[in-house]
Amino acid sequence: MFGECHAHLIMDGLNYKDAISIHKDHVNDEVIRKHLKAYEELGIVFVRDGGDALGVSERARRLAPEYGIDYRTPVFAIHKNGHYGSIVGKGFDTMKEYHVLLKEAKNKGADFIKIMTTGLLDFNNHGQITGTPLDRKEVREMVHIAHEEGMAVMSHTNGIYGVQAAVEAGVDSVEHGNYIDPETIRELADSDSVWVPTLVTIRNLRGCGRYKESVLDPIIELAAKNLRLAYKYRAKVALGSDAGAYMVLHGKGLMDEYQAFMDILGESGDVRAWLADGEKRIQDTFRRLNLDRCINVGIFGFCRIKGNADTCAGFHITGGDILCPLCKAGYGCAIASLKCDGICCMAYNCTADCAGKFPASKRIRIITGDCCNSNTIQ
């Protein structure tokens, strides 16, 4: 099963205003668990969120290990004030303010940074993007600052100018990438950026009554043409549905996205291997390994612990908060605590010793980053 490389758990695929209002006073665990359960039931074990301004994805990351999901989030996306993006994050006016927001996200445990460099498709003007894209120099500086801070960059970007500027700046993934041309796809293929085209954000609008087919069909046809070129040129591409967007449900959205790829490219082992490679690049890149945390890799996701052995800033595991998917028992600290520059790296096993029932590659283990002196602990 492929992972979901672009989702927004704050949204529900039906009515984003109602979905967001549920979390305005406080994050609603019941709703988050409902969405996580949808992924679990379909066997989806990796989800990369695009962030939100209310702390929903941050909370989802804490709860996700209970559902066997490796959940990554930027906590919130970052946009320039006056440009698109307030729906999923926080805005800045100057690069100094951008850097402050980046550090805020980082201090909250962001796995990566998400930036917004363009607007959306203009459904009234085929080929046009709403708003004004950020200047190339701005995008380059934003990416440079993020990379200097050790953070990968996920970039919401559409249009020829926007995508070319993002790729040239060195973003680690391009999200959406609508209305681009063969030259831009060539640039993508020659770069290390992974393209996540989120095809079903448009395809799933067919028949819903919001837009005429005559408006949607040209967009869908161009997206299919561009995907074929991306496959031909061997650009790096991964599956992400933008789950939570209108008519894109959590869990099912990824199934729809996969089917869209198969309808366009034909189902084959080579296509699946191509997509698996793109997802692996996403999983390997969009994680913080060496600056301020060590990684607990396994079926229960990542553990990020700061300060002391009893408090986990990423997923709180001690005290039985998280349940084993097999026996439903809580975890306890099973191995050790390693002190390194004020950071505790801990590994956990299920108290009911279920680890042996999982393949070796899925068992709980801790892999230390550059912040630790120790080697891998099994």
Q: What is the DSSP string of 43-62?
A: T--EEEE---SSSHHHHHHH
d(CA 162, CA 129): 9
- pLDDT value of residue 233: 98
- pLDDT value of residue 1: 86
d(CA 204, CA 32): 23
Q: Is the dihedral of CA 141, 156, 187, 5 positive or negative?
A: positive
Q: Please list the residue range(s) of the chain that carry CATH number 3.20.20.140.
A: 4-285
Residue given tokens 């729906």 in the structure block: 87
What does the pLDDT look like over 204-243, one tens digit per residue?
A: 999 999 999 999 999 999 999 999 999 999 999 999 999 9
**In which band, very low, low, confident or very high, does the pLDDT at 297 lie, cut at 50, 70 and 90?**
very low
Q: Would you identify the CATH topology of the domain 4-285?
A: TIM Barrel (3.20.20)
d(CA 169, CA 188): 12
- pLDDT value of residue 176: 98
Mean pLDDT across the stretch 301-324?
34
Structure tokens that stand for 318 in this block: 């001690």
Range with the poorest average pLDDT among 39-43, 199-203, 373-377? 373-377
CA–CA distance from 358 to each of 44, 299, 326 (Å)? 16, 9, 10
User: Average pLDDT of the chain?
Assistant: 82
**In which band, very low, low, confident or very high, does the pLDDT at 344 lie, cut at 50, 70 and 90?**
very low
- Give the pairing type, strands 331-340 and 77-80: unpaired
CA–CA distance from 148 to each of 80, 122, 164 (Å)? 20, 34, 21
CA–CA distance from 179 to each of 30, 124, 125, 136, 217 (Å)? 38, 14, 11, 18, 13
Share of the chain above pLDDT 90, in %: 75
Residues 6+ apart with CB under 8 A from 369: 288, 289, 290, 291, 293, 294, 295
CB 361 within 8 Å of CB 342: no
What does the pLDDT look like over 59-103, one tens digit per residue?
A: 999 999 999 999 999 999 999 999 999 999 999 999 999 999 999
Residue given tokens 């039931």 in the structure block: 41
